[in-house]
Amino acid sequence: MGEERALTGLRVLDLANNIAGSYCGKLLADFGAEVIKVEPPKEGNPLRKKAPFFKDEQDKEKSGMFFYLNTNKKSLTLDITKQEGAEVFKKLVKNSDVVIEDFEPGKMKEWGLSYDELKKENPKLIMTSITWFGQDGPYKDFKANNFTAYGIGGAMYVMRPTRWPDTRPAVLGGYQAEYTAGLIAYIATMAAVVSPKEEGTWIDLSVMEAVTSTLTGIMADYSYLGLSRRTLPWAIHGFPTQENYPCKDGYVNLTPGIGGTQAIADLIGKPEERENPLLVKAGARVKEPEKFEALILPWLKEHTKWEITEKAQKLRLAFAPILSPGELPDDPQIKAREFFVKVEHPEMKEVTYPGAPAKLSESPWKEGRAPLLGEHTQEILNSAGLSEKDIKELQEKGIV
Amino acid sequence: MAYKILEGIRVVDLTTVYAGPMGTRMLADLGAEIIKIESPKRPDLFTRMTAYPDNEPPEKENWNAGGYFHLLNAGKLGISLDLSTEKGKEIFKKLVKISDIVMETFSPRVMDNLGLGYEELKKIKPDIIMVSMSGLGHYGPLRDYYMYMTGMEGMSGLTYITGHPDQPPLLSNYAYGDWMLGVTGAAAALTALYYRKKTGKGQYIDVAGREAIVIHIGDVIMDYTLNGRVKERSGNANPEMAPHECYRCKGEDSWINIAVENEEQWQALCKLMGKEELKDDPRFSTMEARVKNRDELNKIIEEWTSQHDHLELMEKLQKEGIPAGAVLSMKEVHLNPHLIQRGFFEVIDHGKDVGKRPIGKQMPAKFVGLESYTPSRAPRFAEHNEYVFCELLGMSKEELKKLEEEKVIGTVPRFPPGRPTRLDLIEKQAGKGAGYVDPNYLEELRKVFGEDIAKK
C-alpha cells in the first residue's frame, strides 16, 4: 500500500459475522484502515457460505457476498471462544483502535472480552457492537434477520404502491436493514475516532433502530398529525410524483420536478393538451388517476426508458429510467465516473464490483480484493509478538 | 454534563429539503455545531410547511412550525444569508474561515457560479473539507439531470429488485435514497476529518446519491458481474429461506414478517401452529422443498397468522426462537416498548404553537457510559444571526441591522400562507386510503412520553 489514504494508520479488528458489521469494516478498509477480519479456524466467516458464488460454486473462497463485504481486509483465523484465543485477541487489542462485533448481547462477556475487559488492554479502544435490537431493552434476546428487522423497524408498512395501498407490503430489495446499520455504525465509529476528546467508547447500535431512524419525516407524520401512512400520500407529494409506469423496454419514473406537469404535454407530442385539467390541476389527476394514465401510457409504451428520460430531462422534467442491476455497467454516467472497479482474485479471477461511495480529492478510496481464509495469520500473530513456537502450539490446538 | 462526541467541529450547512439535512442532523446528534444557512428569498420551503402541529398552520411565523423541519433540523443553529449578494458572499467566506466542513446539495455548478466553489473556499481556508452531494455526481455526461430521490433510487438498481412480480417496481416510499445521499455525505466528511487530523490537509468530496445506493446492493450487482444473473423483483420471497413472507394477521391492515432460517426453527413453527404433520410432509420437509413450494406453504401459514394479533404472535414466535417481526405502523413505532425503553425518541420542546414532541434520533447508536446528549429544538428562521454574525464573526449590532436593511440577511423569509395537510384526501386515496389518521394520537403519546406532550 505505502501511500497515505484517508484512514491509513487506523487499525481495526473485525469480528463481524453478519452483513452490517462486515460492511462497516469494509468501509474502513476501503478508505485505508488496516482491518483484520478475525475468522473462526477451518470453516471461516459465515458470510463465506452466502450467495452469490462465483460460477455458483459453493466454496469458501468463491462467495461474492464475502468478497464484497471484506475487500481490502486481512484475514486472521483465531478461535476467540477459547481462552487461549481470547488472550491472543487481547494482545491484538493493545495495538488496535477499533473492534467491530455483532455477537448476541453477552457473548463477548462470556469469552472474557467485554468492553470493560478490553478497555484494560487499551483505554482508548472504540468497540462497535451491532445487534438486531441493542444491548438492552425488552427485545434484546429476540431473533431477527434483515427481513424481520425491516418490518419491526417500521419501514415495511409503507412499502406498497400508491395505486394499491391495501396490498401486502414488500421488503426493500437486498439487505437494506443491514447495510443501513453498517453505514450508521461506520459514522458512529468514525465520530468516536475523530472526536477531539480522544476517549475510548462502547458503541451500541441496534439494526431495528437503524431502520427506524431512516424514516425521518414520516415519523413526524404521527407526532404532529396522527398519521400512519401505508403508502405515499399524493396530497403531500403530488401525483404522478414517485410513480413508476411501464414503457417500451421496462419502467420509467414520472417525477415532474421543476419542469411541471404541463410539460408532459410537450413530452408526449401533444402541446394542445397543455391546458388539459389533468395536467394543470393536481386535484384532477388525484381524482381520476386512470384518466391521467390513459393520456400518457400509450406514448410511454412506444418509447424506451432512455428515450423518454432524455427528452423529459430537456423539458426539465425529472423523469428517470428504472435500471436493472445488469444495466448499470453500461450507464454512461457510471462509466464516465469509473464507478465500477475490477480486481484480480486467486480463486475468482477477475471481479467487478461497485466502487467508491464518495470521491475524495486528496485521499481517494481504493479497490482491493477480499483475503483468503487465514491469509495473514502468520504476519498478524508475529506483529502481536508471538513466536513461531507459540503459533505452532496454537495451531495444534486448533486455536488458529 | 451532556457528552458531545464531535464538540468543537463546526459545519456550514447549505443543504435543504431532505437528503442533506438528514446527514447534518446526524452530525448534530453527535454534537457538532451545525450552522444552517437559508436565504430569506429561498428558505427551506418543503419541510418548513409540511406536518404543521395538529394540522393547524399557526397564524404567525408559519415557517417555524413544520414538523418535518423540526425533525430534520433538531440540534442545528439557523442563520439567514443571501449568497447571491456580494456582501452575503463575503460573510459566507468569513464563516468558512472559522469552520471545518462545508456541506451542500445544490445542483452541480451552483457553488462555482456563485464564486464559492471549492477552489475559492480553499484560498480562504486551506484545510476546509467541502462535501457536495448530488443525484448523479458533480462530473460526467448526466451530471445536470434533474434528480430527486426517485431518480437516484430508480437508476440504482434497487427499485428494479423491489416489489411484487405482478406490480410495477417499487420505490422506497420513505425517501431512503435521500437518506443514503445525506448520510453518505456525513460519513465522507468524518473520513476526511481523520485525514485532516493526520496530515493537516482538507479536501473536496463528490457524493452521488445514486452511487451510494448501488453500494448497498453490491451483492446483487456481483451476481450479475460474476454470473451474468439479473435479479428480478420477487416480493418477499427469499431464494434460500422459506417461510420468508409478510403474513396477514387479525385486525385491519395488520401484518407480521416471519423468516425461518433452519430446521430447528421450522419444527418449532409447526409445533406452535399445531400442525406437526407438516414436518414430515414431503412438500415442506427440507428447506429446498419449502422454497420450491412456498406458495402453498404461505397459504397454510397465513390461515394461522390471520387468526392472531400481530404483536402477540411475535411474542409467541420469539418465545420459541423463531425470527418474527411485527410490521409496525408509525403509530406502533411511537408506542413501541422497546424503542421507548432504549430512549430512541427524545422529547424536544419546540415552544409556542408546538409544545413538546417525541423526535426520533438520526444517530441511533448509543455511546455506553457517556452521558447522552439531546439536541436542542430546530432553530427558528434566522434565530442565531446574532450569535453567528456578532459573536463568531465579530460584527457589531449596527452592522447586523444594516445587513438586514440591505436584505442580505432577514428574519422574515419569503413564505406562502400555511396550509393544512389534506388528511381527508389521504384517507380516501385510490379508494383504500394512503394511511390512517388517529384522532387520539396526542393522548396516546402522552401516555408514553408524559402528560405535557403538545401543551402549547
Is residue B391 a contact partner of residue B86, using CB atoms and an 8 Å limit? no
State the smallest CA–CA distance between residue A244 and chain B in angstroms: 6
Residues B51 and B154 in one domain: yes
Output the pLDDT for position B456: 79
Q: B33, B152, B225: which to substitute to probe chain A, counting the most A Cβ within 10 Å?
A: B225
For the segment A180-204, the average pLDDT, to the nearest whole number, is: 96
> What CA–CA distance (Å, rounded) separates B418 from B399?
32
Residues B287 and B164 in one domain: no
- Is residue A309's pLDDT more than 50? yes
Q: Report the length, in residues, of chain B.
A: 456
State the smallest CA–CA distance between residue B47 and chain A in angstroms: 8
| DSSP code for B180 | H
- B353: confidence class by pLDDT, cuts 50, 70, 90: confident
Q: Which of B299, B332, B365 marks a domain boundary?
A: B332
Q: Which residues are within 8 A (CB) of B423 and not within 5 positions of it... i.e. 6 or more apart?
A: A225, A227, A235, B55, B437
For the segment B407-424, the average pLDDT, to the nearest whole number, is: 95
Residues B27 and B139 in one domain: yes
The domain that holds B178 is classified in CATH as 3.40.50.10540
**Which of helix, strand or coil describes residue B21?**
helix
Tally of CB atoms within 10 A around B104:
20
- Is residue A26's pLDDT more than 70? yes
Q: Report the length, in residues, of chain A.
A: 400
- Is residue A1's pLDDT more than 60? no
> What CA–CA distance (Å, rounded) separates A361 from A353?
21
Is residue A338 a contact partner of residue A355, using CB atoms and an 8 Å limit? yes
Range 254-313 of B in CB contact (< 8 A) with A: 255-259, 261, 265
The pLDDT tens digits for A89-118 are: 999 999 999 999 999 999 999 999 999 999
For the segment B35-46, the average pLDDT, to the nearest whole number, is: 96
For the segment A280-293, the average pLDDT, to the nearest whole number, is: 94
Q: How many domains does chain B have?
A: 2
- Is residue B319's pLDDT more than 80? yes
| Beta bridge mates, A62 | none
Is residue B365 a contact partner of residue A202, using CB atoms and an 8 Å limit? no
> What CA–CA distance (Å, rounded) separates B272 from B258?
13
- Is residue A3's pLDDT more than 90? no
The pLDDT tens digits for A320-331 are: 999 999 999 999
Residue B437 included in any domain: no
- Residue B211: which of A35, A336, A209, A185 has the closest Cα? A336
For the segment B330-346, the average pLDDT, to the nearest whole number, is: 98
For the segment A195-208, the average pLDDT, to the nearest whole number, is: 94
Residues B121 and B71 in one domain: yes
> What CA–CA distance (Å, rounded) separates B131 from A359?
10
Residues B309 and B260 in one domain: yes
- Residue B150: which of B238, B213, B87 has the closest Cα? B213
> What CA–CA distance (Å, rounded) separates B42 from B409?
12
Residues B323 and B400 in one domain: no
Residue B309 included in any domain: yes
For the segment A348-358, the average pLDDT, to the nearest whole number, is: 97
The pLDDT tens digits for A356-378 are: 999 999 999 999 999 999 999 99
- Is residue B1's pLDDT more than 70? no
Check whether the bond before B417 is cis (ω within 30° of 0): no
Average pLDDT over chain B, rounded to an integer:
97
Output the pLDDT for position A2: 53
Chain B CB contacts of A167 under 8 Å are 164, 167
In order of start, what are the domains of chain A with their CATH numbers?
A: 11-214+336-396 (3.40.50.10540), 234-322 (3.30.1540.10)
**Which of helix, strand or coil describes residue A204?**
strand
CB-based contact, B361 to chain A, within 8 Å = yes
β-pairing, B255-259 with B324-326? antiparallel
Of A56, A67, A220, the CB nearest to B68: A220
Residues B202 and B306 in one domain: no
Residues B357 and B328 in one domain: no
> What CA–CA distance (Å, rounded) separates A182 from A254?
31
Output the pLDDT for position B169: 98
In A41-82, which residue ranges form alpha helices assigned H by DSSP?
64-69
Residue B199 included in any domain: yes
Q: Which residue of A has its CA nearest to B247?
A: A168
Residue B88 included in any domain: yes
- Is residue B249's pLDDT more than 90? yes
Residues B207 and B348 in one domain: yes
**Which of helix, strand or coil describes residue B208?**
strand
pTM over 0.95: yes
> What CA–CA distance (Å, rounded) separates A37 from B395?
53
Residue B237 included in any domain: no
| DSSP code for A136 | S
Q: Which of B313, B332, B351 marks a domain boundary?
A: B332
> What CA–CA distance (Å, rounded) separates B401 from B326?
56
Chain A CB contacts of B369 under 8 Å are 201-202
Domain, as residue range, for B282: 244-332
Residue B435 included in any domain: no
The domain that holds B273 is classified in CATH as 3.30.1540.10
Residues B36 and B70 in one domain: yes
Residues B28 and B174 in one domain: yes
Check whether the bond before A256 is cis (ω within 30° of 0): no
Residue B53 included in any domain: yes
Task: Supply the DSSP string of A334-355, one letter for each residue.
Answer: HHHTT-EEEEEETTTEEEEEE-
Q: Which of B298, B332, B366 marks a domain boundary?
A: B332
Rounded percentage of chain B residues whose pLDDT exceeds 90: 97
Output the pLDDT for position A368: 98
| Beta bridge mates, A35 | A12
Average pLDDT over chain A, rounded to an integer:
96
Angular region, B170: left φ>0, alpha ψ -120 to 50, beta rest:
beta
Q: Which residues are within 8 A (CB) of A86 and not within 5 positions of it... i.e. 6 or more apart?
A: A80, A111, A112, A113
Report, in angstroms and rounded to the nearest whole number, the Rg of chain A calculated over CA atoms: 25
State the smallest CA–CA distance between residue B18 and chain A in angstroms: 8
> What CA–CA distance (Å, rounded) separates A26 from A369?
11
Residue B257 included in any domain: yes
Residues B77 and B162 in one domain: yes
**Which of helix, strand or coil describes residue A201?**
strand
- Is residue B165's pLDDT more than 90? yes
Range 321-340 of B in CB contact (< 8 A) with A: 321-334, 337-339
For the segment B318-325, the average pLDDT, to the nearest whole number, is: 98
The pLDDT tens digits for A231-285 are: 999 999 899 998 999 999 999 999 999 999 999 999 999 999 999 999 999 999 9
